[in-house]
Structure 1
C-alpha cells in the first residue's frame, strides 16, 4: 500500500515537473510578431491580447493571472511588436510603458491658429478640429470667455500615441497647464486671467528670458499711468501674425486687440505663454521704465522717457 502511494506521489511530482517545464518553456519561448495595438484607458485587455495573438493560450492566461497580477500594472499606450517576443517580453514591455510615440513640440508663444496649422502640417489635426475638441471641455477651472482657450495651451514637447488626435492633444496641453498653474493656488481667477493676458503679450515681445520681468514692468507702469500699452504683438495678432514688420498703416486697424488705439489689456490672451512669461506677469520687476526698443540679437534697451526712447531708436537704426 505504501509502495503504491509512493508511486502515485512520484507520478504526481513528475507530472507537475513536466507541466512546469512546459509552462516555463511556453512563457519563455519567443515567437515572431508584427502587430500594433492601441491600449487606451478602459480597453478590455483580453481583446488586446487576442489582437496580438496570445489571448487564447491557457499558458498565457495562467502567466498573466498568477505572475503578472492579471495585468493590473500594464500601462495604456500605442504598442508596436515587430520581431521576436516571449509572453514575458510582451508583458514587460506593457508594464514598463514602452509605447511607440509621436513627438509634438508646441513652440512658446504660438496662438491657437498657429497650433492648428502645425497640427495640419504634421497631419495629426487641424485648427477646426482643435477648436471642436476645446469646445468639449466643460470643467476647466479658469476663465474661458466665450469658450476661448487662448493662453491655456501650454507650450511643451509632448509624447503622444502615433494615432493621436485633437482630443488627446488638447487634454495633454491643458493638463500640462494645470500642472504648472494649479487652480487651487490661484484663487482669484479674474486677476489670474489678466496676468495671463499680460504674459501672452510678454511672450510675443520678449526674446530673452532675463528681460521678461523688465518688460512686464514696462506694461504695468503704462497701465498705472493710464497709458496705452502700444504693443506691436497685439496688433499682429489681429493679422494672425502674418506681418514681419509693423507699419503705421497697420496700426490703424480698429480692434479691441489694437493696444495703440485702445487703453488697457486686450480682451483675451494673444498667444500661449510659457511658465517664465506668466511668472514675469505676476511678479514684474520694480522699475520706472515706460519704453523699450529692440537693439541687437533680440536684446532690448529699456528707457524711462519718450525722449530717451527716441534717442535709442536713432542709434539702433
Structure 2
C-alpha cells in the first residue's frame, strides 16, 4: 500500500514539476516583439492587449489576474520592440515607461515652422534641435548645402517615446524620408535635389493634389521658355510664411528665393514636401500651360496665354 502511495505521490510531484516548468517558461520565456500597442482607457483591457502573443491563453489570463487584474496598467501608446517575457511586458505596461506620444508634422511646413510648432507645444528646444540637425549632415546621403536640411524632414504623424528628445525626433523624420526615397533608387543626387526643390514649391502652391502634376508642367514650361517661375510661395518663404497674401511691394525683396526677380529654381527647398509632390516633380503632366490663378475654392484655372490668364482674372474679380 505504501509503495502505491509513494508511486502516486511521485507522479503528482512529477506533474507539478512539469506544470511549474511550463508556467515558468510561459511567464519568463522571452519572445520577439515589434508592434505598437494602444491601451485605451475606455476600452476593455483584454481588447487592448489582444495584439500581444498568447493574450488569449489561459496562462496569460491567470497571470493578469495575479497582477491585480491588470488594474495597474497605464493607458497610452506603446512601441514594443525586442525580446520580452510576459512578466516584462506587464512590468513595462504598469510602469508606463514605453508610452508613446503622437507628434504630427504637417505637410508643407518649413523647418522653421516645424521648430516653432513643436517648441510652442513644449516638446523641443530650438537651439538643441538645430545643433542636433547640424550633426547629421556628414552621414546624410543627399545634398545638404551649408547644412541646409530643408525638404528632408518628412511630414507625417509619428509615435515617439514619451520622453523623446531632439535627436530622436530628427532621426525618426530623416529615417522616414529615406524610407520614402531610398538613396540607392536615386543615383543622381543633384537631380533628386532639384526635383525636391520643385516638389516643395508644388506642396505650397497646390492645395488640390490632383493639380500638382499640372502645376509642375507650368513651372517646367516657364523654365524652358526662359521665363521666371513667379511663385508667390517662394517669396513668402523669405517672410517665413507670415504673409496671408503676397502684394506687389513684397515682390521687391532681393533674395535668391524671389522667383519673380530671379530665373530658375530657388537654391534649396522652401518646405518639407509629401511624396505625391515629389512624384509630380518627376512626372509632370504634358501640357502647354504657362499660367495659373486661384479660383477661390482651393483649385486653379490654368491657361496657355497671358491674355487668357488676365481675362479669367477680370471675369472673376
- Taking structure 2 as the reference length, the TM-score comes to 0.77
Separation in structure 1 between the aligned mates of residue 36 and residue 303 of structure 2, nearest angstrom: 52
State how far apart, in whole Å, the 1-side matches of 2:135 and 2:5 are: 70
Q: Is the 8 A contact 1:109 1:204 kept in 2?
A: yes
1:128-277 to structure 2, matched below 5 A, reads 128-137=127-136, 138-277=138-277
Secondary structure of the 1:184 match is helix
**SS across alignment from 1:159:** strand
CA contact (8 A) 2:200 2:271 kept: yes
Name the CA distance, whole Å, in 2 between partners of 1:128 and 1:311.
49
Verify: 1:73 aligned to 2:21, yes or no. no
Alignment of 1:91-106 (within 5 A): 91=89, 99-106=98-105
Deviation at 1:168, TM superposition (A): 1.4
SS for the counterpart of 2:102 is strand
Q: How many residue pairs align between the two structures?
A: 273
Q: Deviations over 1:124-146 (max 9, x none)?
A: 11433322221121321111111
Report the 3-state secondary structure (helix = DSSP H, G, I; strand = E; otherwise coil) of the residue aligned with 1:175. Answer: helix
Cα distance in structure 2, aligned partners of 1:212 and 1:234: 16
1:88 aligns with 2:86: yes
Looking at structure 1, the residues matched to 131 and 165 of structure 2 have their Cα atoms a distance apart, in angstroms, of 11
Structure 2 unmatched runs, 5+: 40-66, 74-84
Question: Structure 1 residues 88, 225: closer, same or farther in 2, change over 3 A?
Answer: same
1:78/1:162 contact within 8 Å kept: no
Q: After superposition, what is the alpha-carbon deviation per residue over 1:52-83, rounded to whole angstroms, capped at 9, x for unaligned?
A: xxxxxxx69x942xxx2xx3514598999972
